[in-house]
Every structure is written in structure tokens, then in C-alpha cells.
Amino acid sequence: MTHSQLKPIHIVTALIVIVLWGMNFVVIKIGLKGIPPLLLAALRFTFVAFPAIFFLAKPKVELKWLIIYAATISFAQFAFLFSAIAVGMPAGLASLVLQAQAFFTVGLAALIFGDRLKPSNVVGIFIASLGLLLLGSASLTASASASTAQVSIAGFALTLCAALSWACGNIVSKKMGAVNMLSLVAWSALLPIIPFFVLSCFMDGVAVVWHSLTHISLSAMLAILYLSGAASLIGYTLWGKLLAALPTHVVAPLSLLVPVVGLSSAWIILDESLNRTQIIGASIVMAGLLFNVFGQKLITAIRTKNRPTI
């Protein structure tokens, strides 16, 4: 078998990861029904780090990069994402808007590393931006109530902040180079635990935090176990195995299926429905994502086909 051959086990593994990560957003919303967002994040990272760090060696990276990675991907991303869903961002749309990280990553890599933007990147960003603008306008008009509309746009903005934080973490990850992903996930989860607990006590109140911990529901406990065990440890472990077995260009596009699962599961489980404007906006964003990934091949194929023969 060559390094690039796709086997049935790879397909099954990819589908498991896609479902685990796609369902992640529905589970977040369920967990938030009884737990404040920052406290939920604290509990999530507590069970990601423990007991995993006792069985996994510390990743071989400089401490400063581990701290910055934890501050961006672990702390900022989930602080924004959990808060976004808590203030009304639909779980399904959150799974899609969060994928804007792909464009933020491309832009940051161009600014910081001097990576050259391909035509497909520029066109993809432009298309997805139109979709995001449409989704943003739909958030403003989602309800006749002014207060509800403000909450919706706040959730949308917070989700974009989460996407930017994820992108910053991607840049840090690129700076670190090759590293054991499972070890990185577990050890970076250790750093934001105390800040999350402290911020939750400050913003929600010690009484609320204590009440949430002492009156935690079974559904909330299962949500925490899912977010920490299934979505984080199992998801990243399997994803790392795919990246080790297959070329990155084969594996990376599979993440585009995560919003499909996110939107579908939110519709089935949470009864979240999108209006016509949101459906159009979501479709445009997905088109931008697809063009960002596959557009260059399409452009090359068209140029090759139209090239005159001598």
C-alpha cells in the first residue's frame, strides 16, 4: 500500500470524526441548558486534561508556543463559541460560521509567513464573505423583537471571534511544526482550566457556579463527557491517525462535512430551522469553502483544457 491509498478503514475513521465533531455543537447547546458557558468550558478542559496528561508525554514544543496555542485554540476559541451559543447562536449555523477559520488562517499565513494567496483563496474568501454578510443581515431581521435581534447578531459576532481564535491557533501550530496532536490537545487543555473557572465566578457569580456544580443534571454530565472524551480526545486521536496515514490534501477537505452534520443534527435533535435567507447564506458560505479547497484544481483544469496545442 502506498502512503496515499484510501482504504475502507480510513473512510470509516473519517466518518466517525465528522459525526463526532458535527454533533459537538448540539451537545454544547444541551450542556448550556444547566451550566454557564465559561463553567462548561472549564469542565470540558478539566476532563480533557485529566487523566490524559498522566499517560501522555508533554509535547516536544517550547513552553511559550504551548501557552500561546492554549490561549488561542483552547481558551479564546471556546470562550467565544460557548458564549455565542449561550446568547442565541443556533448550533447548526455555529458549526458552519466557525469554518470561517479556514479563510482567517489563509489570511494570517499570508501576513505572517508571506504565503502567497492563490486565486482560489481570493475567490473563495470573497464568495464566503458574501454568505457571511447575508447570514449577518438575517440575524438582524430574525425576529421582530429588537432585543432578540441584538442577541442573534451578538452570537454571530462571537462565533466569528471563535473562528479567528482558531485560525490564530493554526498559525501557532504551523510555527511549532510536527507534534503529537493528542499530547498537544491534552497538555494545552491544562492551561485554560483555572482562567475559565475564575472568569465564570467573576461573570456569573460564585453562587451560580456553586449551584451549577452541585445541581448538575445527568444530561449536562453526559454533555461534558462527550465534549471532552468523544469530540476532543477520540476525535483528535483519529484525525491525527488519518493525517499520518494519508496526505493532508486528502484529509483536510473532509472537515467540510462537519457543518453538514452540524446543521442536520441541529434540525433533527433541536428542531432548529433556517429561514430562506439563512439557507441561501449558508449555501454561499459552503460554496466559498469548497472553492477555497478545490477551486485551484478547477482553475488549473480549465486553463489546461483551453491551452492551445502546437
pLDDT score of 273: 83
Average pLDDT, the chain: 88
Cα separations (Å) of 58 from 7, 62, 184?
Answer: 32, 10, 8
Q: Helix (H, G, I), strand (E, B), or coil: what is residue 247?
A: coil
SS (H, E, C) 39-93: HHHHHHHHHHHCCHHHCCCCCCCCHHHHHHHHHHHHHHHHHHHHHHHHCCCCHHH
pLDDT score of 249: 66
User: What tens digit of pLDDT does each residue of 18-61 get?
Assistant: 999 999 999 999 999 989 999 999 999 999 999 999 999 999 99
User: What band does 145 get if pLDDT is binned at 50, 70 and 90?
Assistant: very low
Q: What percent of the chain has pLDDT over 70?
A: 92
User: What tens digit of pLDDT does each residue of 282-309 get?
Assistant: 999 999 988 988 888 887 777 777 776 5
Q: What percent of the chain has pLDDT over 90?
A: 61
Give the H or E element holding residue 151.
helix 146-176
Measured distance CA(166)–CA(159) in Å, rounded: 11
User: What tens digit of pLDDT does each residue of 71-97 get?
Assistant: 999 999 999 999 999 998 999 999 999
Measured distance CA(123)–CA(125) in Å, rounded: 5
Mean pLDDT of the 258-265 span: 93
**Which residue, among 32, 18, 94, 73, has the nearest Cα to 256 in the 3D structure?**
18
Cα separations (Å) of 142 from 148, 279, 281?
Answer: 8, 13, 13
pLDDT, greater one: 251 or 66: 66
User: What band does 310 get if pLDDT is binned at 50, 70 and 90?
Assistant: low
Measured distance CA(23)–CA(229) in Å, rounded: 13
Judge whether residue 151 has pLDDT over 60. Answer: no
Mean pLDDT of the 145-152 span: 50
Judge whether residue 139 has pLDDT over 70. Answer: no
Judge whether residue 104 has pLDDT over 70. Answer: yes
pLDDT score of 127: 93
pLDDT, greater one: 270 or 115: 270
Q: Which residues contact 13 (CB under 8 A, 6 or more apart)?
A: 238, 241, 242
Judge whether residue 1 has pLDDT over 80. Answer: no
pLDDT score of 47: 97
Measured distance CA(97)–CA(163) in Å, rounded: 8
User: What tens digit of pLDDT does each residue of 2-11 get?
Assistant: 445 778 898 8
